[in-house]
Amino acid sequence: MTVTLAVLLAAGFVFTAGIAAGSANLGLLDVLGTLAGAGTRASEFIVYELRLPRAAAGLAVGLCLGLAGALTQTFSRNPLATPDILGVTSGASAGAVTAIVLGGGGYSVGASLLGFGIPVVATVGGLAAAAAVYGLAWKGGVDSYRIVLIGIGVTASLGGLTSYLVVRAQLTQATAATQWLVGSLSGVSWASVWPMVAALVVVAPIALAQSGPLGISQLGDDVAVGLGVPLQRHRLVVIAAAVLLTAAAVSAAGPVEFVAFVAPQVARRLAGAGRPPLLASALVGAVLVLIADVVARTAFTGEIPVGILTAIIGAPYLIWLLIHRKGGTL
C-alpha cells in the first residue's frame, strides 16, 4: 500500500509537470491555479486546449498498458509474456492500420466494421491475435514458454501484414499509418482519451477483482483448481481484460512499446513482491509514459515520438533480464 501511494503521488507530480513543460513554460503553481479556475485566459488556453488532453492521454495509456502487462505476466507466470510479445499489440496495430488504410480511420460509426473506427477495429484485432495465440498454445493446458514462442511468431506474422498494408496504401494513408505505428502522443485530442477512460472504468475493476485468483494460480493449475478457482473462466477474463486495455491504448497512441513489459517488473521490485501488483503496475506505467513524453518534448531540438523513448528504455532491460536468468527462471 505504501508503494502504491508513493507511485500515485509520483504520477500526480509528473502529470502536473507534463502540463507545465513546453515552449511556453508554466510553473507548477500556475498549472494548479489554472486547473482550480484561477488562471489567466492565456494559461487556460495553453492548459485546457493544448496540454491537458496530451497529459491525460499519456496517463491513460500508461495505466492501460501497465495493468495489461501485469495481468499477462501474472497469468502466464512469465515476465516475458506481455501484450507486446503475445501478439496483442501487433494484432491491435494491424487492426488500427487496416482502419487507417482501408477505412480512413477516425471514430465515426458507420455501416461496416471499418466504419466503427480505430478503437473498435483495434480491439477486434487484439482479440483475434490473443485467441490465435491461446488456441495454438493449448495442449492440455498453456505452458508459459510455449505461449511466448507462439506469441513471437504471431507478432511477426501480423507485423508482416501491417507492413504490407502500409506499402500498398496511398501516400497520405501510408504517412499517417507510419507516424502512428511508432507510438506518439502528438496531436491527441479528447476523442482519443475517452475510449481509454471507458475501458479503464469498465475493465479495471474487473481486472483488479482477479487479483486473488491470480495469486492462487501462481501455485499451479492443480492447486488452483483444488482451491476452487474456475481456471478456464478466470484465464479468459484476464486475457479479455488485457486485450481490451491494450487495444484502447494502441488505438489512441499507437504501439507504445515495452511499457507493458517494464512497468510490472519495476512495480514488483519496488513492492518486493513475488508477482507484479496490479494497481502499482498501472501507476508505474503511467509514470513511465508521462516521463517519456516530457523528455520527448523538451530534451531534443525537435519532438520525437514517445514510443521511441520507451523502446530505448525497454529493450536494454529485456536483454538484461535474459542475461540474468537463474535456474531456468526469469
Cell for 321? 533480464
pLDDT digits (tens, 9 = 90+) for 118-166: 777 888 888 889 888 888 887 766 666 788 888 889 999 998 999 998 8
Q: What percent of the chain has pLDDT over 70?
A: 91
Is residue 27 scored above 60 in pLDDT? yes
Rounded distance between C-alpha atoms, residue 261 and residue 104, angstroms: 31
Q: Which residues on adjacent β-strands are paired with residue 138?
A: 142
Rounded distance between C-alpha atoms, residue 292 and residue 33, angstroms: 25
Is residue 290 scored above 90 in pLDDT? yes
Model pTM score: 0.86
Top pLDDT among 52 and 78 is at 52
pLDDT digits (tens, 9 = 90+) for 64-101: 999 999 998 888 888 877 888 778 889 988 888 888 88
Domain residue ranges of the chain, discontinuous segments joined by +: 2-323
- Quote the Cα angle for 83-85-91, to 5°: 60
Q: Which residues contact 203 (CB under 8 A, 6 or more apart)?
A: 241, 244, 245
Chain centre to alpha carbon of residue 94 = 15
Q: What percent of the chain has pLDDT over 90?
A: 21
Confidence (pLDDT) at 63: 96
**Cβ contact 184:253 at 8 Å:** yes
Nearest alpha carbon to residue 6 among 271, 292, 302, 275: 271
Q: pLDDT band at residue 286, thresholds of 50, 70 and 90?
A: very high
Is residue 213 scored above 80 in pLDDT? yes
CATH architecture, range 2-323: Orthogonal Bundle (1.10)
Confidence (pLDDT) at 113: 45
Per-residue HEC secondary structure of 280-299 comes to HHHHHHHHHHHHHHHHHHHC
Nearest alpha carbon to residue 70 among 277, 318, 247, 212: 277
Least confident interval from 45-59, 142-156, 187-201, 262-276: 142-156
5-9, 246-250, 252-256 — most confident range: 5-9
Nearest alpha carbon to residue 211 among 100, 325, 19, 67: 67
Helix residue ranges, H only, 77-189 = 88-102, 118-137, 144-168, 171-181
